[in-house]
Structure 1
């Protein structure tokens, strides 16, 4: 059985079983730890991983600690208030996107470099490498600890006009998740103006026309209904969305060695297990969009090459600021990856 077949088989077996983490289910005497995510908890790679981590900790630390998981920005949006809450001890775990942490770790912008990776399974090879720890090392300088890395999938563009070429949405305004200069450069090539909006604000602003397009994974696009107010989703797979699972170094340092190991090992086990299913979740989401009369445009090889050629200068421009050796390592890992066998 090749690796792709194994992924799909395991995912099909695992997806119907949903993890649960009831915010009111902690026992008296347990120390409550809060985990905040901006996505849905069930049916989304990040939410599912957060729930699974809570279940693991709640079983291993029963009677001592209880992790509550809050989704859809119920506690915090993925902005500066979330990071400050972790440093203040009001929040214990979060999984903001890589795009949200570039202010703390410049190397996180590697995932905004267009067409650096051939696909989500190639990215997994990078996430499982030693190189990825360089992002966590940069986060530690500001008091954060990266427990692991949750995978989602590749970004697709959507707009109020069908897009087959990079210039088809010229003159429009697209929502962006961060102020990344890499993303701004990509949109500038397309003739598009970026507008930073919180994830929870995207649907309403697409619906009322404040922004006319966005970029996201199929899982995000389907779960939040973005496709309902867009003419089409263009399957570009141009960049990647993933999430470092963060806590504060202060919280980790407060734990004895044995307890700390439970939290660290649990994160590694859960991210390794759940990341195998993110690919399938995005494939299911893609199919659900089409079945709900949404439009997904699959590009021809020639059309795809036009996108790659248009964005090629972005890699050259930002490679030094992201880290030339870091980017070169990702290129080597991508080239050597053989995820389908």
Structure 2
């Protein structure tokens, strides 16, 4: 009954949003392009999307009015992905975990310790030959990925108990992103996985529904999690991109000239967002220290050993990932070789 009620409410929200959004599809003779995400206005994601808005309107402002909606104003990521499928929203930023539910090819990025460095991570994501088949895998669902966003490294942060070894996770309820591979990762670490939407995390921490979460440093400040969680441990278990997805019907209806401009705009999103990322992390660390958050640097290898079996499990269950995985490992060696 609870699941039926939740499904009903979700359906009502989506239908209501569609009516609201489609009822004002055109204003001042221009087509409104709606872009949704769940981050704050000062977050690098919003900064990148504002650059996209400025660029598109500088080139096609006589036809399109780009509107950015931060802070889950149009709903949670799950809701806005569904609205992007229908075309009520043109673009949204989706977590890799959500996209995994549409095509399991996205499992590859959820593997813990897949990348050996940020340079390796960036080199893989910038490899168009490798990434394009992944980005277009969801066309059957009515959308495709158009840009990737740097989300740094994911680490554990907790309310009362610092995490120095995997044993410290035992008995703790830790929020993870809503995907099977993330739940399994948490099981291997020894903690109790608690999947939930990002917008629910602050209240869940505050009310002791969960004992901690895992995310990058900006969650402490932009999303105020550092007001509750006082320990942040750099175990660096994942580097998972956020993905900008676009409604396929909208994209396919663009003229070749317009699509070229939009593609340039998508590149601008990634470039500007990544440029803003580094300074935003540094600022977040300083702000978090003022919130009395303690930063902990545990031995990463002991965490890595706990979850590496997940690589074999996922590749055995999903053989189509094997060539992608092998190419990622090759790129890692090339990156290391290039540093010598």
Q: With the length of structure 1 as denominator, give the TM-score of the two structures.
A: 0.85
Alignment of 1:123-134 (within 5 A): 123-129=121-127, 130-134=129-133
- Alignment of 1:314 with 2:310, yes or no, is yes
Of the three residues 115, 133, 137, the one matched with 1:117 is: 115
SS of match in other structure, 1:101: helix
Alignment of 1:129-168 (within 5 A): 129=127, 130-160=129-159, 161-168=161-168
How far residue 125 of structure 1 moved from its aligned partner, in angstroms, is 0.8
How far residue 27 of structure 1 moved from its aligned partner, in angstroms, is 7.1
Equivalent pairs counted in the alignment come to 311
- Alignment of 1:107 with 2:125, yes or no, is no
Please give the per-residue CA displacement for 1:99-134, whole angstroms capped at 9, x wherever unaligned: 110012212222221111123332111110021222
- Alignment of 1:327 with 2:322, yes or no, is no
What's the C-alpha RMSD, in Å, of the aligned pairs? 2.1
CA contact (8 A) 2:146 2:246 kept: yes
CA distance in 2: counterparts of 1:276 and 1:304, whole angstroms:
27
CA distance in 1: counterparts of 2:50 and 2:31, whole angstroms:
17
SS of match in other structure, 2:286: helix
SS of match in other structure, 1:286: helix
Matched with 2:177 is: 177
Matched with 2:39 is: 39
CA distance in 1: counterparts of 2:89 and 2:287, whole angstroms:
34
How far residue 240 of structure 1 moved from its aligned partner, in angstroms, is 1.6
CA contact (8 A) 2:48 2:271 kept: no
- Alignment of 1:304 with 2:303, yes or no, is no
**Residues 280 and 109 from structure 1, CA distance in 2 versus in 1: closer, same or farther, beyond 3 angstroms?**
farther
Q: Which runs of 5+ in 1 are unaligned?
A: 1-25
Alignment of 1:212-231 (within 5 A): 212-231=211-230
Q: Structure 1 segments of 4 or more deviating over 4 A?
A: 338-341
- Alignment of 1:82 with 2:85, yes or no, is no
**Residues 324 and 111 from structure 1, CA distance in 2 versus in 1: closer, same or farther, beyond 3 angstroms?**
same
- Alignment of 1:203 with 2:202, yes or no, is yes
CA contact (8 A) 2:177 2:196 kept: yes
Matched with 1:28 is: 28
CA distance in 1: counterparts of 2:185 and 2:224, whole angstroms:
24
CA distance in 2: counterparts of 1:89 and 1:287, whole angstroms:
40
CA contact (8 A) 1:46 1:243 kept: no
Name whichever structure is richer in helix by fraction: 2
Q: Which runs of 5+ in 2 are unaligned?
A: 1-25
CA distance in 2: counterparts of 1:125 and 1:277, whole angstroms:
18
How far residue 31 of structure 1 moved from its aligned partner, in angstroms, is 1.4
SS of match in other structure, 1:141: helix
Matched with 2:62 is: 63
Q: With the length of structure 2 as denominator, give the TM-score of the two structures.
A: 0.86
